[in-house]
Amino acid sequence: MNTLDIEKHQHVQGKLAEIIIVLEAMRGFVYSAEAQAKINEYQIMVPALSPLKAAASYYQANYPRLVEIIQLLGASHFIAAPSERDFASPIAVQLERFVRGEYTSAKEKFRLIQLARDLTITEFGTRQLLYERYFFGDPVRVLSSLNQLFHEEKSEYVGRVAAFLQSTTEFED
């Protein structure tokens, strides 16, 4: 964000916070899987599967938003980005003067913008979006398998609620 000098704007901070939330949620899934790891029948420590399946579902659902955030932050820079050829041409001096970043050179700024473009709006970026959506399988089936995997733990929670309801008094009108 220093390259475009836009981090001071609240709407940008909000978008960056969304990215941080996804990052921290993914870290939480990994930590949870590690903390619940068990030794399997081959005497190998394996992470818990439920948090990893939840991570897969969460990522499938949130990756498109991450791409959208990059698109929104890049905005018109993606359209008017000069090429390497432009930086090797007679207009290089003007590019450096007029389109440099707040804290970086014009060439470095547009190398970063080119990377963001490649990840979000090029043919590669759109293929990557599709890949991330379906890498773990059909999102509906991934969610369904998570539900099935969680069935035993879910029944424990259902039992707790039932026990609580039996221990409370009747509702009053």
Rounded-to-integer distance, Cα 146 and Cα 150, Å? 6
- Is 2's pLDDT higher than 70? no
- For residue 1, give the DSSP letter: -
* Number of C-beta neighbours around residue 31 at 10 A: 12
In the CATH hierarchy, which fold is given to the domain comprising 10-82+115-167?
A: Butyryl-CoA Dehydrogenase, subunit A; domain 3 (1.20.140)
Q: Which pLDDT value is given to residue 173?
A: 60
Nearest to residue 74, comparing CAs of 125, 21, 130? Answer: 125
Q: What is the pTM of this model?
A: 0.81
Q: pLDDT tens, 66-124?
A: 999 999 999 888 887 888 898 889 999 998 888 888 788 888 888 899 999 999 999 99
Q: Count, in order, helices (H) and strands (E) of the chain.
A: 8, 2
- Is 53's pLDDT higher than 60? yes
Query: Tokens for 79?
Result: 């359209």
- For residue 76, give the DSSP letter: G
Q: Which pLDDT value is given to residue 101?
A: 80
Q: φ, ψ for residue 48 (rounded to 5)?
A: -65, 140
Domains of the chain, by residue range, sit at: 10-82+115-167
Q: Which pLDDT value is given to residue 59?
A: 95
